[in-house]
Protein backbone atom coordinates (compact mmCIF):
# COMPACT_ATOMS: atom_id res chain seq x y z
CA UNK A 1 0.00 0.00 0.00
CA UNK A 2 2.87 2.34 0.89
CA UNK A 3 4.62 1.43 -2.37
CA UNK A 4 1.50 2.25 -4.35
CA UNK A 5 1.17 5.55 -2.47
CA UNK A 6 4.82 6.39 -3.17
CA UNK A 7 4.48 5.52 -6.85
CA UNK A 8 1.36 7.64 -7.07
CA UNK A 9 3.21 10.54 -5.47
CA UNK A 10 6.14 10.15 -7.89
CA UNK A 11 3.73 10.01 -10.82
CA UNK A 12 2.00 13.14 -9.57
CA UNK A 13 5.33 14.96 -9.24
CA UNK A 14 6.36 13.86 -12.73
CA UNK A 15 3.06 15.10 -14.14
CA UNK A 16 3.50 18.43 -12.34
CA UNK A 17 7.04 18.83 -13.70
CA UNK A 18 5.90 17.94 -17.22
CA UNK A 19 3.05 20.41 -17.01
CA UNK A 20 5.39 23.14 -15.77
CA UNK A 21 7.80 22.47 -18.61
CA UNK A 22 4.98 22.50 -21.12
CA UNK A 23 3.75 25.80 -19.67
CA UNK A 24 7.26 27.27 -20.01
CA UNK A 25 7.49 26.22 -23.64
CA UNK A 26 3.93 27.33 -24.32
CA UNK A 27 5.15 30.94 -24.17
CA UNK A 28 7.15 30.23 -27.31
CA UNK A 29 5.83 30.10 -30.86
CA UNK A 30 7.81 28.86 -33.87
CA UNK A 31 9.05 31.56 -36.21
CA UNK A 32 7.21 32.39 -39.41
CA UNK A 33 10.62 32.14 -41.07
CA UNK A 34 10.85 28.42 -40.29
CA UNK A 35 11.71 26.11 -37.40
CA UNK A 36 15.47 26.35 -38.02
CA UNK A 37 15.67 30.10 -38.58
CA UNK A 38 18.13 32.12 -36.49
CA UNK A 39 18.12 35.58 -38.10
CA UNK A 40 14.45 36.55 -37.83
CA UNK A 41 13.44 39.76 -39.55
CA UNK A 42 16.85 40.04 -41.24
CA UNK A 43 15.28 37.65 -43.74
CA UNK A 44 13.66 40.80 -45.13
CA UNK A 45 17.00 41.84 -46.65
CA UNK A 46 16.73 41.46 -50.42
CA UNK A 47 18.07 42.90 -53.64
CA UNK A 48 14.63 44.34 -54.40
CA UNK A 49 14.40 46.20 -51.08
CA UNK A 50 17.98 47.44 -51.44
CA UNK A 51 17.28 48.87 -54.88
CA UNK A 52 14.08 50.52 -53.65
CA UNK A 53 15.92 52.04 -50.66
CA UNK A 54 18.63 53.39 -52.97
CA UNK A 55 15.99 55.49 -54.74
CA UNK A 56 15.69 57.56 -51.55
CA UNK A 57 19.16 59.03 -52.08
CA UNK A 58 18.38 62.47 -53.51
CA UNK A 59 20.97 64.82 -51.96
CA UNK A 60 23.96 62.46 -51.78
CA UNK A 61 24.28 63.00 -48.02
CA UNK A 62 25.52 60.39 -45.56
CA UNK A 63 24.83 60.99 -41.87
CA UNK A 64 25.96 58.78 -38.96
CA UNK A 65 23.28 57.46 -36.65
CA UNK A 66 25.76 56.32 -34.00
CA UNK A 67 27.15 58.47 -31.20
CA UNK A 68 30.79 58.77 -30.12
CA UNK A 69 31.50 56.80 -26.94
CA UNK A 70 34.29 56.71 -24.36
CA UNK A 71 34.93 55.74 -20.76
CA UNK A 72 32.60 58.52 -19.57
CA UNK A 73 29.60 57.47 -21.67
CA UNK A 74 26.76 56.55 -19.29
CA UNK A 75 25.56 52.99 -19.66
CA UNK A 76 23.12 50.52 -18.14
CA UNK A 77 24.86 49.26 -14.98
CA UNK A 78 27.28 47.51 -14.62
CA UNK A 79 28.48 48.13 -18.16
CA UNK A 80 31.70 50.08 -18.65
CA UNK A 81 34.42 50.82 -21.20
CA UNK A 82 38.18 51.27 -20.92
CA UNK A 83 40.57 52.08 -23.78
CA UNK A 84 44.37 51.92 -23.71
CA UNK A 85 46.72 52.97 -26.50
CA UNK A 86 50.07 51.16 -26.39
CA UNK A 87 53.31 51.11 -28.40
CA UNK A 88 54.48 47.48 -28.32
CA UNK A 89 58.26 46.90 -28.11
CA UNK A 90 58.93 50.62 -28.26
CA UNK A 91 59.71 51.31 -24.62
CA UNK A 92 62.14 54.13 -24.04
CA UNK A 93 61.60 55.47 -27.52
CA UNK A 94 62.98 52.37 -29.26
CA UNK A 95 62.22 52.20 -32.97
CA UNK A 96 61.32 49.10 -34.96
CA UNK A 97 64.43 48.78 -37.07
CA UNK A 98 63.29 45.31 -38.15
CA UNK A 99 60.85 47.10 -40.49
CA UNK A 100 63.87 48.25 -42.50
CA UNK A 101 63.45 51.82 -41.25
CA UNK A 102 63.06 53.43 -37.80
CA UNK A 103 59.37 52.60 -37.58
CA UNK A 104 56.90 53.33 -34.81
CA UNK A 105 53.20 52.54 -34.35
CA UNK A 106 50.29 52.66 -31.94
CA UNK A 107 47.90 49.84 -31.08
CA UNK A 108 44.80 49.89 -28.92
CA UNK A 109 43.42 47.55 -26.28
CA UNK A 110 39.73 47.77 -25.55
CA UNK A 111 38.11 46.35 -22.41
CA UNK A 112 34.39 46.87 -22.73
CA UNK A 113 30.87 45.65 -22.43
CA UNK A 114 29.40 45.73 -25.90
CA UNK A 115 26.07 47.23 -24.89
CA UNK A 116 27.33 50.80 -24.63
CA UNK A 117 26.23 53.69 -26.81
CA UNK A 118 24.69 52.99 -30.20
CA UNK A 119 24.02 49.29 -30.46
CA UNK A 120 22.18 46.48 -32.18
CA UNK A 121 20.30 44.13 -29.86
CA UNK A 122 20.50 40.62 -31.28
CA UNK A 123 17.81 37.99 -30.94
CA UNK A 124 19.68 36.31 -28.09
CA UNK A 125 19.51 39.38 -25.85
CA UNK A 126 16.19 39.15 -23.99
CA UNK A 127 13.93 36.16 -23.58
CA UNK A 128 11.39 34.82 -21.13
CA UNK A 129 11.20 31.70 -18.97
CA UNK A 130 14.56 30.55 -20.30
CA UNK A 131 13.42 30.74 -23.92
CA UNK A 132 14.65 32.94 -26.75
CA UNK A 133 13.63 33.54 -30.35
CA UNK A 134 12.22 30.56 -32.25
CA UNK A 135 11.90 28.39 -29.13
CA UNK A 136 15.65 28.23 -28.49
CA UNK A 137 16.42 27.20 -24.92
CA UNK A 138 19.02 29.16 -22.95
CA UNK A 139 20.70 25.89 -21.93
CA UNK A 140 21.38 25.14 -25.60
CA UNK A 141 22.62 28.51 -26.84
CA UNK A 142 24.11 30.46 -23.92
CA UNK A 143 27.71 29.54 -23.07
CA UNK A 144 30.45 31.67 -21.52
CA UNK A 145 32.44 31.84 -24.76
CA UNK A 146 29.54 33.27 -26.79
CA UNK A 147 26.11 32.37 -28.10
CA UNK A 148 26.08 29.18 -30.14
CA UNK A 149 23.03 30.48 -32.01
CA UNK A 150 21.52 33.95 -32.52
CA UNK A 151 24.93 35.70 -32.44
CA UNK A 152 24.98 39.09 -34.14
CA UNK A 153 27.82 37.92 -36.41
CA UNK A 154 25.22 35.98 -38.40
CA UNK A 155 23.08 39.04 -39.13
CA UNK A 156 23.52 39.99 -42.80
CA UNK A 157 24.26 43.62 -43.72
CA UNK A 158 21.05 45.49 -42.95
CA UNK A 159 20.11 47.60 -45.95
CA UNK A 160 16.58 48.96 -46.02
CA UNK A 161 14.25 51.89 -46.22
CA UNK A 162 14.10 53.67 -42.86
CA UNK A 163 11.62 56.13 -41.41
CA UNK A 164 11.64 58.33 -38.34
CA UNK A 165 8.46 59.00 -36.38
CA UNK A 166 8.91 62.23 -34.43
CA UNK A 167 7.14 61.55 -31.15
CA UNK A 168 8.55 64.69 -29.53
CA UNK A 169 6.87 66.76 -32.23
CA UNK A 170 3.65 64.81 -31.72
CA UNK A 171 3.65 65.74 -28.02
CA UNK A 172 4.59 69.35 -28.78
CA UNK A 173 8.00 69.35 -27.14
CA UNK A 174 11.69 69.22 -27.99
CA UNK A 175 12.44 66.59 -25.35
CA UNK A 176 9.97 64.09 -23.93
CA UNK A 177 10.01 63.22 -20.23
CA UNK A 178 11.54 60.13 -18.65
CA UNK A 179 8.82 57.52 -18.19
CA UNK A 180 6.57 59.12 -20.81
CA UNK A 181 5.22 56.26 -22.88
CA UNK A 182 3.53 56.06 -26.25
CA UNK A 183 1.44 53.30 -27.75
CA UNK A 184 -0.45 52.55 -30.94
CA UNK A 185 -2.83 55.50 -30.68
CA UNK A 186 -0.04 58.06 -30.40
CA UNK A 187 2.15 56.34 -33.01
CA UNK A 188 -0.66 56.21 -35.57
CA UNK A 189 -1.53 59.86 -35.00
CA UNK A 190 2.10 60.94 -35.36
CA UNK A 191 2.59 58.87 -38.50
CA UNK A 192 -0.53 60.31 -40.11
CA UNK A 193 0.37 63.90 -39.25
CA UNK A 194 3.96 63.45 -40.48
CA UNK A 195 3.01 61.48 -43.61
CA UNK A 196 5.03 58.45 -42.50
CA UNK A 197 4.21 55.00 -43.82
CA UNK A 198 5.77 51.68 -42.85
CA UNK A 199 6.25 48.77 -45.23
CA UNK A 200 7.25 45.22 -44.28
CA UNK A 201 11.01 45.04 -43.88
CA UNK A 202 11.47 48.75 -43.10
CA UNK A 203 13.53 50.19 -40.25
CA UNK A 204 11.29 52.15 -37.87
CA UNK A 205 12.84 54.75 -35.55
CA UNK A 206 11.27 56.95 -32.93
CA UNK A 207 12.60 60.40 -32.08
CA UNK A 208 11.97 61.59 -28.53
CA UNK A 209 14.68 64.25 -28.25
CA UNK A 210 16.21 62.33 -25.35
CA UNK A 211 19.77 61.87 -26.63
CA UNK A 212 20.04 65.20 -28.40
CA UNK A 213 18.56 67.09 -25.44
CA UNK A 214 19.79 65.25 -22.34
CA UNK A 215 22.92 63.12 -22.92
CA UNK A 216 25.55 65.87 -22.81
CA UNK A 217 23.64 68.17 -20.46
CA UNK A 218 22.88 65.56 -17.78
CA UNK A 219 24.42 62.12 -18.43
CA UNK A 220 23.18 60.70 -15.13
CA UNK A 221 19.59 61.66 -15.87
CA UNK A 222 19.95 60.32 -19.43
CA UNK A 223 20.77 56.80 -18.25
CA UNK A 224 18.45 56.86 -15.24
CA UNK A 225 15.25 56.94 -17.27
CA UNK A 226 13.87 57.56 -20.74
CA UNK A 227 10.68 58.08 -22.73
CA UNK A 228 9.65 55.32 -25.08
CA UNK A 229 7.36 52.57 -26.24
CA UNK A 230 4.73 50.99 -24.04
CA UNK A 231 4.27 47.23 -24.22
CA UNK A 232 1.14 47.78 -26.30
CA UNK A 233 3.12 50.10 -28.54
CA UNK A 234 5.72 47.40 -29.09
CA UNK A 235 2.97 44.97 -30.06
CA UNK A 236 1.63 47.47 -32.58
CA UNK A 237 5.02 48.19 -34.15
CA UNK A 238 5.72 44.45 -34.36
CA UNK A 239 2.46 44.03 -36.29
CA UNK A 240 3.90 46.31 -39.01
CA UNK A 241 6.53 43.63 -39.72
CA UNK A 242 9.67 45.83 -39.67
CA UNK A 243 13.25 44.59 -39.89
CA UNK A 244 14.26 46.60 -36.83
CA UNK A 245 12.84 49.12 -34.36
CA UNK A 246 14.98 51.85 -32.86
CA UNK A 247 14.95 55.12 -30.99
CA UNK A 248 17.17 57.93 -29.77
CA UNK A 249 17.15 56.38 -26.30
CA UNK A 250 19.39 53.83 -24.60
CA UNK A 251 16.66 51.23 -24.03
CA UNK A 252 13.72 51.87 -26.42
CA UNK A 253 10.89 51.50 -23.87
CA UNK A 254 9.69 54.02 -21.31
CA UNK A 255 11.68 53.88 -18.04
CA UNK A 256 10.20 53.81 -15.50
CA UNK A 257 7.65 51.62 -17.25
CA UNK A 258 4.10 52.91 -17.51
CA UNK A 259 1.64 51.39 -15.06
CA UNK A 260 0.84 47.77 -15.87
CA UNK A 261 3.83 47.28 -18.19
CA UNK A 262 6.77 44.97 -17.65
CA UNK A 263 10.08 46.84 -17.65
CA UNK A 264 11.83 46.25 -20.99
CA UNK A 265 9.10 43.77 -21.92
CA UNK A 266 8.97 45.42 -25.33
CA UNK A 267 12.35 43.76 -25.89
CA UNK A 268 10.73 40.37 -25.31
CA UNK A 269 7.86 41.23 -27.66
CA UNK A 270 10.18 42.33 -30.44
CA UNK A 271 13.18 40.04 -30.06
CA UNK A 272 11.81 36.78 -28.68
CA UNK A 273 8.26 36.76 -29.93
CA UNK A 274 8.77 38.34 -33.35
CA UNK A 275 12.46 38.11 -34.24
CA UNK A 276 12.66 41.88 -34.79
CA UNK A 277 15.94 43.61 -34.02
CA UNK A 278 16.33 46.64 -31.75
CA UNK A 279 18.50 49.69 -32.46
CA UNK A 280 19.38 51.73 -29.39
CA UNK A 281 20.78 55.27 -29.05
CA UNK A 282 20.20 56.21 -32.66
CA UNK A 283 21.06 59.89 -33.19
CA UNK A 284 17.93 60.80 -35.13
CA UNK A 285 17.93 64.52 -34.33
CA UNK A 286 20.37 65.75 -37.00
CA UNK A 287 18.44 63.94 -39.74
CA UNK A 288 15.13 65.50 -38.70
CA UNK A 289 16.89 68.88 -38.44
CA UNK A 290 17.76 68.39 -42.12
CA UNK A 291 14.06 68.06 -42.92
CA UNK A 292 14.31 64.31 -43.65
CA UNK A 293 12.35 61.44 -42.11
CA UNK A 294 12.79 58.80 -44.84
CA UNK A 295 16.16 57.48 -46.02
CA UNK A 296 18.30 54.52 -47.00
CA UNK A 297 19.67 52.72 -43.92
CA UNK A 298 22.94 50.78 -44.15
CA UNK A 299 24.50 48.74 -41.33
CA UNK A 300 27.44 46.37 -41.44
CA UNK A 301 28.22 45.43 -37.83
CA UNK A 302 31.49 43.98 -36.53
CA UNK A 303 31.26 40.21 -36.92
CA UNK A 304 32.47 38.95 -33.56
CA UNK A 305 31.28 35.37 -33.25
CA UNK A 306 28.63 34.75 -30.63
CA UNK A 307 27.98 38.32 -29.51
CA UNK A 308 24.62 39.19 -27.99
CA UNK A 309 24.84 42.82 -29.09
CA UNK A 310 26.95 44.86 -31.49
CA UNK A 311 28.40 48.34 -31.24
CA UNK A 312 27.19 50.06 -34.39
CA UNK A 313 27.26 53.22 -36.44
CA UNK A 314 24.57 52.84 -39.11
CA UNK A 315 24.59 55.33 -41.95
CA UNK A 316 21.59 57.29 -43.19
CA UNK A 317 21.82 58.04 -46.90
CA UNK A 318 19.49 60.59 -48.47
**pLDDT digits 0-9 by tens, 167-197:** 999 999 999 999 999 999 999 999 999 999 9
| SS3 per-residue string spanning the chain | CHHHHHHHHHHHHHHHHHHHHHHHHHCCCCCCCCCCCCCHHHHHCCHHHHHHHHCCCCCCCEEECCCCCCCCCCCCCCCCEEEEEECCCCHHHCCEHHHCCCECCCEEEEEECCCCCCEEECCCCCCECCEEHHHEEHHHHEECCEECCCCHHHCCCEEEEEEEEEHHHHCCCCCCCCCCEECHHHHHHHHHHCCCCCCCCCEEEEECCHHHHHCCCCHHHHHHCECEECHHHHHHHHHCCCCEEEECCCCCECECCCCCCCCCHHHHHHHHHHCCEEEECCCCHHHHHCCCCEEEEEECCCCCCCCCEEECCCEEEC
pLDDT at 46: 97
Residues 126-164: pLDDT tens digits?
999 999 999 999 999 999 999 999 999 999 999 999 999
CATH: 3.30.2350.10, 3.50.30.50, 3.90.1150.10, 3.40.50.300. Which one for 32-76+117-317? 3.50.30.50
Stretch(es) of the chain classified as CATH 3.50.30.50: 32-76+117-317
pLDDT at 185: 98
pLDDT beneath 50: ranges in the chain: 1-26
pLDDT at 7: 31
Amino acid sequence: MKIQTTLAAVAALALTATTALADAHSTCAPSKWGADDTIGSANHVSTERTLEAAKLIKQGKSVPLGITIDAKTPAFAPRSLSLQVVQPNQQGGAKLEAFGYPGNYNDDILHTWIGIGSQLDGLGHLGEEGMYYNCLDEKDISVITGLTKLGTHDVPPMVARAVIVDMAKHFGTDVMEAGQGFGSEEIKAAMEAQNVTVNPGDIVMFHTGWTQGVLEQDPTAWVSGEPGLTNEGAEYVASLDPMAVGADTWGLEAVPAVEGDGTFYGHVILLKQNGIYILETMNTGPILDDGVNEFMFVLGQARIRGTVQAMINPVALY
